[in-house]
Amino acid sequence: MPRQASPPSARPYRGRFAPSPTGPLHLGSLVAALASHADARAHGGAWLVRMEDLDAQRTVVGAANQILQALPAYGLQADEPPVWQSERQALYPAAFERLLAGGHVYGCACTRREIADSVVNQRLPRYGELIYPGTCAQGLPPGRTPRAWRVRVPDASIVFDDRLAGRVEQNLAREVGDFVIKRADGQWAYQLAVVVDDAAQGVTDVVRGADLLDSTARQIHLQRLLGLPPPRYLHVPVVEAPDGAKLSKQNGAIALSLDADEIALTLARAAAHLAKVGLAGC
């Protein structure tokens, strides 16, 4: 399907690349960066870089700097200095308090094992993410204390138009369940931070890997509860490793080289991937 141009908006185009510094840039992450950069340039918009480094356990020392060094070497020059989520921690509590005050959030005592053992997950085995069965939605079981904090979700379809995939619908209650916005380790969850930051940075267009298509309905739900303007979305099919999974450092992605010949070759491979998935303009 051809990429839809971003429909006109009252807000000036602002796009972003938001890597998690879990390793150096590789072909897969370069494709996402290149697509968002090209889309911003095609719309005469600004392109920002945000380091999503809230998850200290997954953050790899030195990876953020490697990414920030590689991007301009690959011709991807941000229009503003990069922002770091770890330095924006003051923004997230206000959103959390607002959701709490609206009765949208509750404390949850469940462990991962308890959630995995629940009837809903036994009946509907899923790979990866578990559906939250709602055990603590009406209050904590006696004697238990909250570990994580979850936002309630509606039993109704959230519908949005992805600029490449077209119309997408997801029923969060059936497919995800109430989801975590503050984790058991006290950290703000990606879903909350990304929504708060995209709004705070005036992001109008999110262009990112299709592995995040499944997170988009959750983010739209939070935007609606917080009264934040929704960005437009374009999810780019991911580069696959030989095993068919998303290319990542776990299945052999190689760190991008800063050698000039390698840069030209890798950019050509990234552009070929974008052309193959119907994003020839990128």
Q: Which is nearer to ligand GLU, 104 or 208 (CB)?
A: 208
37 binds ligand GLU (CB under 6 A): no
- Which of 17-25, 68-76, 144-152, 265-273 is the region at the interface with ligand GLU (rule: CB under 6 A)? 17-25
The reply to whether 52 sits near ligand GLU by the rule CB under 6 A is yes
Binding of residue 18 to ligand GLU (CB under 6 A): yes
Per-residue contact flags (x/-) with ligand GLU for residues 200 to 229, judged by CB under 6 A? --------x---x-----------------
Residues 67-126 that bind ligand GLU (CB under 6 A): none
Q: Which residues contact 153 (CB under 8 A, 6 or more apart)?
A: 172, 173, 176, 177, 178, 179, 218, 221
* Min dist. Cβ of residue 19 to ligand GLU (A): 5
Q: Smaller CB distance to ligand GLU: residue 34 or 110?
A: 34
Q: Which is nearer to ligand GLU, 178 or 205 (CB)?
A: 205
Examine residue 134 and tell whether it contacts ligand GLU (CB under 6 A).
no
Q: Which is nearer to ligand GLU, 118 or 216 (CB)?
A: 216
CA–CA separation, 161 and 234 (whole Å): 9
194 near ligand GLU, judged by CB under 6 A: yes
Shortest Cβ 135–ligand GLU spacing (Å)? 28
Among 6, 20, 121, 170, binds ligand GLU (CB under 6 A): 20
Footprint of ligand GLU (CB under 6 A): 18-20, 52, 194, 208, 212
